[in-house]
């Protein structure tokens, strides 16, 4: 049995990974998620995904460790998790009627076979024109305080959008499952064949 570890305690990522019907455990990674000076959104998610996976892989070298991170880019500025009601409302007001570019990083590490693949998945979200009343009602109902961009697209957040543009909706939720499956196959761990 191949040991698989998701370097995250995110309920959304856990739910997505369950779709592969593989046994796995979740372990919280230890890392500073502060962006570096002049760091692009893509460089940030690649670096954080890898750091998260590496922090767990060091302790479990025989395991396949999966790390992921996500940020949005609005008007050339990185947006992340709001953490508070006020910041969630402000993020959604700023996003109203605009397209936000999301980048979800993915890092898969298997130290025992010296394999380490890190990539990212883009996904663009176009918000419809939203009123303050709609935004406030949404935030109070879905409480998306731990979600980059201040929405849960797999829940009531879907009502905020005019258009979604990307290859894998799972990436927008927090884990690029299509790419993860392809990487695992390349590494010799085909999810359909793992027993």
Contact 184, 190 (CB under 8 A): yes
Domain count, the chain: 1
Residue 39 lies in a domain: yes
Write the pLDDT tens digit of every residue in 11-50.
899 999 999 999 999 999 988 888 888 899 999 999 999 9
Domain CATH number, residue 143: 3.90.950.10
Contact call for residues 118 and 46 (beta carbons, < 8 A): yes
Residue 24 resides in a domain = yes
Classify residue 82: in a domain, yes or no.
yes
Does the residue 195 lie in any domain?
A: no
pLDDT value of residue 80: 86
Tell me if residue 32 is catalytic: no
Q: Classify 129 as helix, strand or coil.
A: coil
How many CB atoms lie under 10 A from the CB of residue 190?
A: 11
Distance of CA 24 to the CA centre of its chain: 18
Helix (H, G, I), strand (E, B) or coil at 57: helix
Kindly report the average pLDDT of the chain as a whole number: 95
191, part of any domain: no
Catalytic residue among 32, 43, 69, 154: 69
In this prediction, residue 94 carries a pLDDT of: 97
Q: 52-85: per-residue pLDDT in tens?
A: 999 999 999 999 999 999 999 999 999 989 999 9
List the beta strands (DSSP E) in 59-190.
64-74, 77-79, 99-110, 115-127, 161-166
Tell if the pTM clears 0.75, that is, is over it: yes
Q: What is the pLDDT of residues 141-159, one digit of tens each?
A: 999 999 989 999 989 999 9
**Structural domain harbouring 123:** 4-186
């Amino acid at each position: 049995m191949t040991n698989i570890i998701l370097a995250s305690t995110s309920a959304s990522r856990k739910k997505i990974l369950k779709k592969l019907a593989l046994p796995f455990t979740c372990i919280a990674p230890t890392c500073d998620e502060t962006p570096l000076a002049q760091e692009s959104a893509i460089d940030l998610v690649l670096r954080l995904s890898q750091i998260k996976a590496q922090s767990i892989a060091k302790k479990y070298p025989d395991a396949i460790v999966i790390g992921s991170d996500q940020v949005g880019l609005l008007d050339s500025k990185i947006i992340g998790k709001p953490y508070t009601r006020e910041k969630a409302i402000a993020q959604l007001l700023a996003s109203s009627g605009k397209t936000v570019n999301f980048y979800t990083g993915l890092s898969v590490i298997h130290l025992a076979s010296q394999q380490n693949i890190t990539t990212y998945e883009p996904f663009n979200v176009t918000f419809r024109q939203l009123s303050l009343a709609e935004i406030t009602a949404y935030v109070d109902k879905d409480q998306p305080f731990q979600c980059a961009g201040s929405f849960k697209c797999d829940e009531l957040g879907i009502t905020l959008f005019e258009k979604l543009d990307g290859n894998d909706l799972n990436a927008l939720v927090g884990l690029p499952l299509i790419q993860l499956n392809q990487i695992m196959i390349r590494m010799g761990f085909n999810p359909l064949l793992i027993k």
